[in-house]
């Protein structure tokens, strides 16, 4: 009788353990970094942040297809952020996710994707004999089709263009 009772208790303990394991399954958020041009996706990280900005997890994208996956251990509000090299532009740059463990994008296995917009071009217009340049100088970025984008230098002479699709460009600075 004691052995039979001991077997039943063991079975009950195992069933409770299995139930607890299933109740605590780890879910995660995943998706792709996508691009219309060839990129080295391994240079791109995806970070999972709390709503207050604390980093919970970080992962690299797969080098060939841009896939990423981040495990989630707790329900709550999170922010996924793409961390590309300086000068690379993505849309969106971050995505807010409310993880309820049942109907959210992560729990239902939906991809959360980031799309490459282009690179950034930065530079500085410098006054002769000085380390800094003037603000308000017109800088043009002209592609090989003759299309022109214009910006003005900021304090110190800095300028930037983003996003810029790969190609051949000419940069021209002028002051009225």
Structure tokens at 156: 């110190």
Tens digit of each residue's pLDDT, the chain (176 residues) = 555 555 555 555 555 555 444 445 678 999 999 998 888 999 999 999 999 999 999 999 999 999 999 999 899 999 999 999 988 999 999 999 999 988 999 999 999 999 999 888 899 999 888 888 899 999 999 999 999 999 999 999 999 998 888 889 999 998 87
Q: The domain at 27-117 falls in which architecture? A: Sandwich (2.60)
| Per-domain residue ranges of the chain | 27-117, 125-174
Distance CA 20, CA 22 (A): 5
Residue 154, CA distances (Å) to 89, 134, 147 in order: 20, 8, 23
Distance (Å, rounded) from C-alpha 83 to C-alpha 62? Answer: 14
């Amino acid at each position: 009788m004691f052995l039979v009772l001991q077997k039943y208790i063991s079975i009950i303990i195992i069933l409770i353990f299995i139930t607890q394991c299933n109740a605590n399954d780890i879910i995660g958020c995943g998706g792709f970094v996508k691009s219309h041009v060839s990129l080295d996706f391994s240079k791109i990280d995806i970070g999972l942040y709390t709503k207050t900005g604390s980093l919970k997890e970080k992962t690299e994208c797969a080098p060939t297809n841009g896939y990423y996956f981040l495990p989630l251990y707790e329900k709550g509000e999170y922010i996924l952020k793409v961390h590309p090299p300086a000068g690379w532009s993505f849309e969106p740059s971050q995505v807010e996710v409310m993880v309820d463990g049942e109907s959210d994008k992560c729990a239902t296995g939906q991809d959360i994707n980031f799309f490459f917009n282009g690179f950034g071009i930065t530079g500085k217009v410098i006054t002769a004999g000085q380390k800094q340049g003037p603000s308000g100088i017109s800088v043009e970025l002209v592609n090989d089709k003759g299309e022109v984008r214009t910006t003005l230098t900021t304090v110190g002479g800095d300028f930037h263009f983003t996003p810029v699709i790969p190609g051949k460009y000419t940069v021209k600075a002028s002051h009225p």
